[in-house]
């Protein structure tokens, strides 16, 4: 399991200075992108590193399990991604309902990347389960 913040650091090279003083990233719902918030000036858009501009659709894939931690009275939401679209996700909720989740419904988790948690990849989970069920092999 890893948070969106972990993914941004490992896959896209974000560092501590890219998360702004409040730990936020810049979200552009019209463009469908995330980008760093420089610590020096969070209000004025500056020329950023193109490698650190992340398309929201690239963060999700079919079969992925996601937990969106609620803020205040908002409940925590758990869902599995069934497909990724330009304007959001098609998901299966924990209750088993299929629904469309626009990027705006994920807004607080996308802006505060520690609130969005990705479960293990389906293939990785299968490999881990299989490796736990087989006995260790001796090298000869």
pLDDT tens, the chain, 140 aa long: 899 999 999 999 999 889 988 889 999 999 999 999 866 555 555 556 777 999 999 999 999 999 999 988 889 999 999 999 999 999 999 999 999 999 999 999 999 999 999 997 555 444 444 444 444 544 54
Q: How far apart are CA 132 and CA 135, in angstroms?
A: 8
Q: How far apart are CA 112 and CA 92, in angstroms?
A: 23
Q: How far apart are CA 56 and CA 54, in angstroms?
A: 6
pLDDT at residue 37 in the model: 85
Decide if 139 is inside a domain.
no
Decide if 138 is inside a domain.
no
Decide if 133 is inside a domain.
no
Decide if 73 is inside a domain.
yes
Domain count, the chain: 1
Decide if 42 is inside a domain.
yes
Decide if 88 is inside a domain.
yes
Decide if 129 is inside a domain.
no
Token reading at 33: 């992108």
128: helix, coil or strand? Answer: helix
What CA–CA distances, in Å, run from 12 to 77, 91, 115? 26, 25, 18
User: How many CB atoms sit inside 10 A of residue 52's CB?
Assistant: 16
Provide the domain limits for residue 6: 2-122
Decide if 6 is inside a domain.
yes
pLDDT at residue 132 in the model: 45
Q: How far apart are CA 113 and CA 5, in angstroms?
A: 5
Q: Which residue has the tokens 């079969």?
A: 63
133: helix, coil or strand? Answer: helix
Assign 3-class secondary structure to 100-123. Answer: EEEHHHHHHHHHCHHHEEECCCHH
């Amino acid at each position: 399991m890893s948070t969106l913040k972990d993914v941004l650091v490992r896959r896209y090279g974000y560092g501590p200075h890219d998360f702004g003083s409040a730990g936020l990233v810049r979200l552009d719902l019209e463009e469908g992108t995330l980008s760093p918030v420089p610590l020096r000036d969070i209000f004025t858009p500056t020329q950023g590193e193109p490698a650190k501009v992340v398309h929201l659709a690239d963060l999700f894939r079919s079969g992925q399990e996601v937990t969106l931690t609620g803020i205040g009275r908002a409940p925590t939401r758990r869902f599995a991604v069934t497909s990724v679209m330009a304007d959001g996700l098609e998901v299966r909720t924990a209750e088993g309902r299929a629904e469309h989740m626009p990027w705006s419904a994920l807004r607080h988790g996308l802006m505060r990347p520690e609130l969005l948690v990705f479960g293990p990849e389906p293939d990785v989970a299968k490999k881990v389960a299989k490796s736990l069920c087989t006995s260790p092999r001796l090298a000869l």
